[in-house]
A and B are shown apart, each in its own frame.
Chain A
Amino acid sequence: MSEYPSNCLYTKDHEWVAVEGDVATIGITDYAQGELDAITFIELPAMGDLLEVGGACGTIEAVKVAEDIFSPVAGEVVDVNGALEDEPEIVNNSPFDDGWFFKVKLSNTDDLTDLMDKDAYLAMVGE
C-alpha cells in the first residue's frame, strides 16, 4: 500500500492535488486504484484544454468499471502523463508518484479551499 502524502489535498472523488506555485498536479488515491482494481485504460485531457471545477475531463477504466475523471481545479492543462496511455497499470503500482494524471496552471487558487487534507480524506474512506 502506498503512503498518503501529507502535502497533498484530496477530493471526495478520490483524487489528490499537489500544488507547487500556481501549478497543480492531479492523480487518484491509493484507495481509488484499489477499488478499481486492475486499470486497463486511461483517457486524459489534452494539453491546452481549459478545465472547470467538477468538469469531466477524462475516463479511467478497469475491466468492468468506467469512471469519469473530474477536474478538482480550474485552469489550463500544461502537462499530461503520456506514459499512462500504454501502461495504465502504473496507476495501480504508484498512484501518488509515477501514476500522476495531468498538471493544471491554476486560474483560481480559491478552488483549493474546498478540498480535504490527508486526515479528513482517510477518515472519509474509513482508514
Chain B
Amino acid sequence: MSGAMQDFATHPTDWLVILPVVLALLGGAVLLMLREAREAQFWLALSIVAVIFVSDIALALRVSETGPVAMTMGRWLPPFGISFVADLTSAVFALAAAGVTLLLLVYLRMDMPDRARRDGVYPLILLLLAGVSGSFLTGDLFNLYVWFEVMLISSFGLMVLGGRNIQLDGTVKYGFLNFLATSFFLAALGLLYGTLGTLNMADIVGRAGAANPAVLASIAALLLLAFGMKAAAFPVNAWLPASYHAPPPAISALMAGLLTKVGVYALLRALVMLLPASREVLEPVLALVAISTLILGPLGAIAETNLRRALGFLVIGGIGATIAGAALGNAAGLAGSATYVLHAMLTITALYLVAGLLEAMTGETDTRRMGGIYAAASLPSLLFFVLMLAVAGVPPFLGFWPKLLLVQGGIEGWGFGRDGWGLALWLAVLGNALLTLIAVSRLWAHIFWRAGHEAATTEAPNPDLKPLSPQVRWLGLGSAGVLTLVVLLLGLWPEPLLGFGKEAAAGLLRPANYVVATGLEGAAP
C-alpha cells in the first residue's frame, strides 16, 4: 500500500484545474449572502465569471502545451482520492461554457424583472456554471454524478424562477425526468463499482479490459440510457420540448446551450474512452438512436409554431449529430462530435438570445403572429441569418465543419465495411442538414420576410412591432452580436476548431496521457 499516496505536493500551477469550479462555488455562496445589494450582485457575478473565463483560458493553453493536467484531492492516488483531470476536450468545453455564461449575464441585464434578481438568479447561474465546469473537469464518475446533481438543482431553480404557470408545468416535466435519469446513472455507477472496484476514470481505463465484457456492456447500456436522457436523444427526448421554452429567453438560452451538451460529453467520455469494447457492442443501438434523433429533431422544428420550441427541436437534432460521432467511433467521427458540441454551445445559445430579442420586439412567442422584422430591424435579421446558416451547416459557417468531419467519418466507417452503419449515419447527417435548412428557412420566411401576421393580406409594415429600447439594443443586441461574431469567425477560420477536434478525438481514443497525468502507472495501451 506504500504507493497509495503521492509523496509530493501538488504544484501550485496545477491548482488551475479546480479553479473554475472553486471560484464558481465560492462566488455563488458570496452572492447568496449579498441578496439585498442588487446592483452590486450583477457586477460581482460578472467579474467572477470573467475570472473563471480567464482561468479557463489559462487552463486550455496549459493543456494544449503540456497535455492533460490532473490534481488529486488529499494526495491519495487514484483510486482512493478523487481526481480532477483536464484534457483538451474538458478544458475547451469548460472555456466555452464560461464564455457563454459571461455573455448571458450581460444579456440578462437587459430586462431582468426585479423579482428574479431578489430571488437569486445570479447565485443560481454561478452554481449552474460550477456544476457544468465540474462535470467537464472531474476525473471520477461518482464525482460526475455529484456535479450532475449540482447542475440539476440549480437549473430547477432557474427554470421555475418567476413562477408563471407555464414554468411550473415545464419544471415538473423537466425535474421528474432528469431526476430519473440521474437515478439510472447512479444505478450504473453502483454496478460498475461492483464489477471493477473503482470509479476513477483513469483507473477504469486500465481495468476495463480484464472484466467480463457482457457485464460491462449491460452497464454501458444503462449509462447510455442515463446520458441519452440527459442529452435529450430520441426516444427519451420528450422533456426538452416540453420545458425549454417555459423560462425567460436568457434562461432557456443558458440551458439549451450548456445542459444537454454535458450529457453528450459524459456519453463520449464513458462509452468511447472508458468502455470502448462496450461501445462496439452497442454500436447498432447508438447508430439507431443517432439516426432517429438526427431526422426527427428538425422534423419537429418544421412542424412547430412556437419559436423557442422550434429551436428546442433543433437542439435535439444537434444531439443526434454528436451521438452519430460516438456511433462511428473513428477519429474523424469523434472529432466531428467534439467540434459539434462546441459549435452547438455557441450557436444554439446565440440563436436563443436572438429569439429573445424577436420575442421582445413582437411581444409574441408564436411564429404565426410574428412577421415583418426584416423590414423593421436589420441587425437582428442579420444575426439570425448568420446563425441559421451556421446551425444548418452551410459552408463556410461554423456548423459546416463538424458535419464535414462526421460525413468523412461515415465514409471511412462505411469503407471499413462495418455493417453499413457508416453509410446510414452519413446519409442521416446529410438529411439532417437538409431538414434543418428547411426548418430554419421557414422560420426566416415567417418571422422576417412575411410582412405581418399569418392572416395579413397587405404588404404594409407590421404595425405591432415595438422598437427596441436603447438598453435592450446595447445589452441584448451587443451580447448576441458578440456571440454571433465568434460563431462567424470560428466558421471562417476553422483551423483552431479542426485542430481541437483532432486532439479531442485522439485523447478519447488513446487515453494513455490522461491516465499518466493522474499519477497511475502502467497506462493502458
Tell me whether A and B are bound partners: no
